[in-house]
Structure 1
Amino acid sequence: MSRLVVVSNRTADLRKPAAGGLAVALGESLQQRGGVWFGWSGKILEDVDGQPAPEGKVNFQRAGKVTLATVDLGRADYDAYYAGYSNDVLWPVFHYRLDLANFDTRFAAGYRRVNQLFARKLLPMLKPDDLIWVHDYHLIPLAAELRALGCTNRIGFFLHVPMPPPLIMAAIPEHEWLMRSLFAFDVVGFQSRADLLHFSHYVESEAGAEVLGDGRFRAYGRTTHAGAFPIGMDVDDFLRLAEAKEGREMFERMRDEYSRRQLLLGVDRLDYSKGLPQRIHAFRELLAQYPENRNRATLIQIASPSREDVEAYGDIRRQMDSLCGAINGDYGELDWMPIRYIHRNIARKRLPGLYRASRVALVTPLRDGMNLVAKEFIAAQDPADPGMLVLSRFAGAAEQLKDALLVNPYDTQGTAQAIQRALTMPLEERRNRHANLLRSIREQNIHWWTRSFLDALAGAQK
Structure 2
Amino acid sequence: MSRLVVVSNRIAIPDGSKASAGGLAVGILDALKTTGGLWFGWDGEISAVTEEEDEELGIVEHDGITYASFPLDQNEYDLYYCQFSNTVVWPAFHYRLDLVQFQREAWEGYCDVNEKLARRLQPLIQPDDILWIHDYHLLPFAAALRKLGITNRIGFFLHIPFPTPEIFNALPPHEELLEMLCDYDLLGFQTENDRVAFIDCLTQLTELESTGDKLHHAFGHTFATEVYPIGIEPDSIKEMAEGPLPPKMAAMKRELGDAKNIIACERLDYSKGLPERFLAYEALLENFPEHRGKIRYSQIAPTSRGDVQAYQDIRHQLETEAGRINGKYGTLGWTPLYYLNQHFDRRLLMKIFRLTDVGLVTPLRDGMNLVAKEYVAAQDPDDPGVLVLSRFAGAANELTSALIVNPYDRDEVAAALNTALTMPRTERISRYNDMMAVLRKNDISAWRESFLKDLRAIDARHDATQDDNKVTSLPRLA
Identify the residue that residue 299 of structure 1 maps to in structure 2: 297
Q: In the alignment, which of 229, 254, 261 is matched to residue 256 of structure 1?
A: 254
Identify the residue that residue 313 of structure 1 maps to in structure 2: 311
Identify the residue that residue 167 of structure 2 maps to in structure 1: 168
| Distance apart, 1:293 and its partner CA | 0.6
- The amino acid that maps onto 1:38 is F
- The amino acid that maps onto 2:327 is G
| In 2, Cα distance between equivalents of 1:83 and 1:368 | 20
| In 2, Cα distance between equivalents of 1:310 and 1:103 | 14
| Distance apart, 1:148 and its partner CA | 1.0
| Distance apart, 1:251 and its partner CA | 5.9
| In 1, Cα distance between equivalents of 2:304 and 2:236 | 27
Listed as ranges, the gaps of 5+ residues in structure 1 are: none
| In 2, Cα distance between equivalents of 1:248 and 1:290 | 34
| Distance apart, 1:131 and its partner CA | 1.0
SS in 1 for 2:21: coil
- The amino acid that maps onto 2:422 is T
SS in 1 for 2:79: helix
- The C-alpha deviation readout for 1:29-49, integer Å capped at 9, x for no partner, is 1111111000012121236xx
SS in 2 for 1:355: helix
Identify the residue that residue 6 of structure 1 maps to in structure 2: 6
Query: Cα distance 1:249–1:382, how it changes in 2: closer, same or farther (>3 A)?
Result: farther
| Distance apart, 1:313 and its partner CA | 1.1
| Distance apart, 1:254 and its partner CA | 3.9
Report if aligned partners of 1:268, 1:304 keep a CA contact under 8 Å in 2.
yes
CA RMSD of aligned residues (A): 1.4
Matches within 5 A, 1:6-405: 6-14=6-14, 16=16, 17=18, 18-46=20-48, 54-245=53-244, 252-405=250-403
| Distance apart, 1:257 and its partner CA | 2.1
Report if aligned partners of 1:144, 1:184 keep a CA contact under 8 Å in 2.
yes
Segment of structure 1 superposing worse, 12-21 or 220-229: 12-21
SS in 2 for 1:279: helix
- The C-alpha deviation readout for 1:165-203, integer Å capped at 9, x for no partner, is 011001111111111111111110011111111112112
TM-score, normalization: structure 2?
0.93
Report if aligned partners of 2:83, 2:106 keep a CA contact under 8 Å in 1.
yes
SS in 1 for 2:364: coil
| In 1, Cα distance between equivalents of 2:441 and 2:248 | 28
- The amino acid that maps onto 1:36 is L
| In 1, Cα distance between equivalents of 2:63 and 2:427 | 47
| In 2, Cα distance between equivalents of 1:237 and 1:249 | 22
SS in 2 for 1:344: coil
| Distance apart, 1:59 and its partner CA | 1.3
| In 1, Cα distance between equivalents of 2:14 and 2:443 | 20
| In 2, Cα distance between equivalents of 1:70 and 1:216 | 34
Alignment pair present for 1:431 and 2:429: yes
Query: Cα distance 1:14–1:214, how it changes in 2: closer, same or farther (>3 A)?
Result: farther
Report if aligned partners of 2:241, 2:353 keep a CA contact under 8 Å in 1.
no
SS in 1 for 2:133: strand
| Distance apart, 1:57 and its partner CA | 2.4
Report if aligned partners of 1:4, 1:130 keep a CA contact under 8 Å in 2.
yes
| In 1, Cα distance between equivalents of 2:249 and 2:371 | 17
- The C-alpha deviation readout for 1:215-274, integer Å capped at 9, x for no partner, is 1111001111111100000011111212355x5657644432212211000101110000
Report if aligned partners of 1:53, 1:74 keep a CA contact under 8 Å in 2.
no
- The amino acid that maps onto 1:19 is A
Percent identity between the aligned chains?
Answer: 46
SS in 2 for 1:213: coil
- The amino acid that maps onto 2:75 is A
| In 1, Cα distance between equivalents of 2:248 and 2:183 | 48
Report if aligned partners of 2:232, 2:373 keep a CA contact under 8 Å in 1.
yes
Report if aligned partners of 1:130, 1:153 keep a CA contact under 8 Å in 2.
yes
- The C-alpha deviation readout for 1:248-306, integer Å capped at 9, x for no partner, is 65764443221221100010111000000000000000000100110011100001111
SS in 2 for 1:269: coil
| Distance apart, 1:54 and its partner CA | 2.5
Identify the residue that residue 415 of structure 2 maps to in structure 1: 417
Report if aligned partners of 1:262, 1:298 keep a CA contact under 8 Å in 2.
yes
Segment of structure 1 superposing worse, 410-419 or 70-79: 70-79
Listed as ranges, the gaps of 5+ residues in structure 2 are: 460-472, 474-478
| In 2, Cα distance between equivalents of 1:58 and 1:52 | 14
| In 2, Cα distance between equivalents of 1:52 and 1:359 | 52
| Distance apart, 1:14 and its partner CA | 3.8
Report if aligned partners of 1:55, 1:74 keep a CA contact under 8 Å in 2.
no
Segment of structure 1 superposing worse, 23-32 or 12-21: 12-21
- The amino acid that maps onto 1:167 is E
| Distance apart, 1:28 and its partner CA | 1.1
| In 2, Cα distance between equivalents of 1:78 and 1:173 | 21
- The amino acid that maps onto 2:77 is Y
Query: Cα distance 1:96–1:257, how it changes in 2: closer, same or farther (>3 A)?
Result: same
| In 2, Cα distance between equivalents of 1:373 and 1:198 | 25
Query: Cα distance 1:25–1:14, how it changes in 2: closer, same or farther (>3 A)?
Result: farther
Query: Cα distance 1:254–1:379, how it changes in 2: closer, same or farther (>3 A)?
Result: farther
Report if aligned partners of 1:56, 1:74 keep a CA contact under 8 Å in 2.
no
- The amino acid that maps onto 2:433 is A
| In 2, Cα distance between equivalents of 1:376 and 1:193 | 22
- The amino acid that maps onto 2:202 is V
